[in-house]
Amino acid sequence: MNKVFILIFSVLFFTSCKQPAKVQNKDEKVVIVPGFNADSAYQYVQKQVDFGPRVPNSTAHKLCADYLSASLKNFGAKVIEQKADLQAYNGVVLKSTNIIGSYNIESKTRILLCAHWDSRPISDHDSNPQNFNKPVLGANDGASGVGVLLEMARVFGKNTPNVGIDIVLFDAEDYGAPENFVGNSENSWCLGSQYWSANPHVAGYTAKYGILLDMVGAPNATFYKEQISMSYAPDVVNNVWSIARNLGFSQYFINENGGAITDDHLYVNKIAGIPCIDIIHFNPNSEHGFGDFWHTVNDTMENIDKNTLFAVGTTLMNVVYKE
Ligand code: AHN
Ligand code: ZN
């Protein structure tokens, strides 16, 4: 091999290997942003779905909790399982576990990254009424956000960011009252995050800001600037959307306002007082505002796309490592 060939070969080799990007952080220091592996994230989504619907009080739910805890430990996080008995709108007591994985526990500057890991007991938005009482598999609604965070955790374990990180996997988000419920259904969603926000895993816990992921795996998903996020944490929204745009992900991160969505971040903002945004698939043209398979029996792996996981994961890696 002559020298020119070796030079060309090595240039091609290293550019095709997705070398970690070098960028400037907020102090204008050059930092390296490690790559986000979407194949790996996809496997973590698959793994959760393989347990079956992770409906609170089910065996699949228990086994999945063990898997999530073990994975975070394996990725070098300090893990806390926060257990609580939470009463659902219909009186059922949900044996719930919020799972927290922390990095750089001594660091004062902390970033909160969260998603819900439970799945919904009923498919009340399915077009076939016979499916209403079947559970949602939750490939997108639940597992996708957790899959992205597990892949980030894997990378944090190898290459710890400058700031403290708390990955909080909320339970009992998706046990909210169906629209036809007669009775008090106020605050029936997001029971795990309501509990954590009032009883954080560390007394007096706070973070610089939080980012919630919800339904981040559908093909061609669209993330609009959600209204609760915009009222509590507009700077965080604008920073995330601008980083996504600079990375070429504007077709996912739409530079327009979306609806106001009751989700875990509402309680993190209201009760815990941590400015927290929601990256959530929003479709302004659909009846309910969400993606096509929302709360149906079709929320399955066929409707998970690695490209979407990649766009969200890569954006978040840049957000975190630029701190
Ligand atoms: C409501 O339907 C009120 N909020 C949606 C929160 C949610 C459910 N995210 C996923 N599943
Ligand atoms: Zn849901």
Report yes or no on 20 lying in a domain.
Answer: no
Q: How far is the CA of 276 from the centre of ligand 1 (A)?
A: 16
Beta bridge partners, 126, equal: none
pLDDT confidence tier of residue 73, bands split at 50, 70 and 90: very high
| Domain-located, residue 106 | yes
CATH number, domain at 296? 3.40.630.10
- For the CA of 295, the nearest atom of ligand 1: 11
Model confidence at 3: pLDDT above 90: no
**211-227 residue pLDDT tens:** 999 999 999 999 999 99
Exposed (0-12), middle (13-18) or buried (19+): which is 102, by Cβ within 10 Å?
buried
Residue 279 domain flag: yes
pLDDT confidence tier of residue 4, bands split at 50, 70 and 90 = very low
pTM of the model: 0.94
Question: Cβ neighbours of residue 291 under 8 Å, at least 6 residues apart?
Answer: 140, 215, 218, 221, 281, 283
Tens-place pLDDT, residues 100-137: 999 999 999 999 999 999 999 999 999 999 999 999 99
Residue 13 lies in a domain: no
**Is residue 10 in some structural domain?**
no
Residue 19: pLDDT band (50, 70, 90) is low
Distance in Å, CA 117 to ligand 1 centroid: 13
Q: Is it the case that residue 16 has pLDDT exceeding 60?
A: no
Domain-embedded: residue 9: no
pLDDT of residue 27: 79
pLDDT value of position 21? 80
In a domain, 55, yes or no: yes
pLDDT > 50? residue 49:
yes
Domain contains 28: no
The 3-class SS string of 116-136 reads: ECCCCCCCCCCCCHHHCCCCC
Chain segment 149-159, per-residue pLDDT in tens: 999 999 999 99
**How many structural domains compose the chain?**
1
The parent domain of residue 109 ranges over 38-321
Ligand 1 centroid distance, CA of 269 (Å):
16
Q: Where are the beta strands (DSSP E) in the chain?
A: 21-24, 30-33, 78-87, 93-103, 110-116, 164-170, 209-214, 223-225, 253-257, 276-280
